[in-house]
Amino acid sequence: MSQEPEQKQPDSDIEFDDTDLVPRRRFLTLAGAGLLTIGFGSFAEGLVGGLSEPFNQQVGSLIFQPQQPVPEFPISAIEPDKLIINSFRGTPAIATETYRLTIDGEVNNPLSLSMSNLQKLPLTSMVIRHVCVEGWAAIVQWGGVRLRDLIAIAKPSAQVKYVYFYSADGYYESWDIDSVMHPQTLMAYQKNGQILTPEYGAPLRLASPVKLGYKLSKWVTRIQLTSELGKKRGYWEDLGYEWYAGL
């Protein structure tokens, strides 16, 4: 990945919004031509790399309801031994004490946040199923900060449609803004009630029930908001995997 351009100095005065929107239940159903699934991910899994990007995004947007939460599981349903550790270039060494999360791009208030800053925001916990495109799944409890709360602090421009995630190991991903703003999309620093460990993405990783596992970047260091997708859209997507990858 090419070197990123020098970024603006983030504002030092950070305001934290404690607003907690009440979630509603979310049920995604796609029916037609004899096809019935519970999410776009099931439909798209057999079509990896087979859809053009505009159609891919339009279909995903049509069935996605960005404010309706996915039904969660009880604590008793957690499967602690089923979350497989997949690595891209090994586990990077990140010192939590000096870690910073940069949020920039088309925003009016670029941010550089320490773990202490992040932990001052309201903690959101959820028990959801992590689904891998390889065919396995695991029920996991994630705890962290709602990504939409962080985006609100950064004050994005009205033109923002996409968000890029850059990781300490060189991995990169891009999402649609509606999935980013979903109330169950987290920047997680806890797993199953404990502080996240490096092999699972510490100090900070994406967690969400609305995307397949390869979209859920670990070791995230930078979040970039943009109105356009670049030629690079994600490590696996650039090798032919489906971009929207919704569930």
Structural domain spans, the chain: 30-239
CB atoms near residue 26 (< 10 Å): 18
CA angle 173, 177, 183 (to 5 degrees): 105
Q: Using CA atoms, how far apart are residues 127 and 77, in angstroms rounded to an integer?
A: 8
Determine the pLDDT at residue 169.
95
Is 68 in a helix, a strand, or coil?
Answer: coil
Rounded CA gap, 124 and 86, in Å? 25
- Residue 47: per-residue pLDDT: 40
Is pTM beyond 0.85? Reply is no
Nearest Cα to 202, choosing from 187, 215, 214?
187
Name the DSSP letter for residue 25.
-
Percent of the chain past pLDDT 70, that is, above it, reads 73
205-207/30-32 β-pairing: unpaired
CB under 8 Å to 234, separation ≥6 — which residues? Answer: 172, 173, 174, 214, 215, 241, 243
* pLDDT tens across the length of the chain (247 residues): 433 333 333 333 333 333 332 232 232 222 222 222 333 333 433 343 344 354 556 555 555 566 788 999 999 999 999 999 987 788 999 999 999 999 999 999 999 999 999 999 999 999 999 999 999 999 999 999 999 999 999 999 999 999 999 999 999 999 999 999 999 999 999 999 999 999 999 999 999 999 999 999 999 999 999 999 999 999 999 999 999 998 8
Residues 107, 157: contact at Cβ < 8 Å? yes
> Sheet of 101-105: strands edge to edge?
111-113, 101-105, 220-226, 162-167, 172-176
What is the four-CA torsion angle of 81, 83, 86, 87, rounded to 10 degrees? -80
CB-count burial class (<10 Å; 0-12, 13-18, 19+) for 61:
middle
pLDDT at position 45, please? 37
Predicted local distance difference test score (pLDDT) of residue 225: 98
CATH number (3.90.420.10, 3.30.420.40, 3.30.540.10, 3.40.50.1980) of 30-239 reads 3.90.420.10
Identify the residue whose tokens are 């090994």: 90
For position 87, what pLDDT does the model report?
76
Q: Residue 230: how many CA atoms within 13 Å on its side-chain side?
A: 16
Start-end of H helices in the chain: 40-45, 53-63, 115-119, 147-154, 177-180
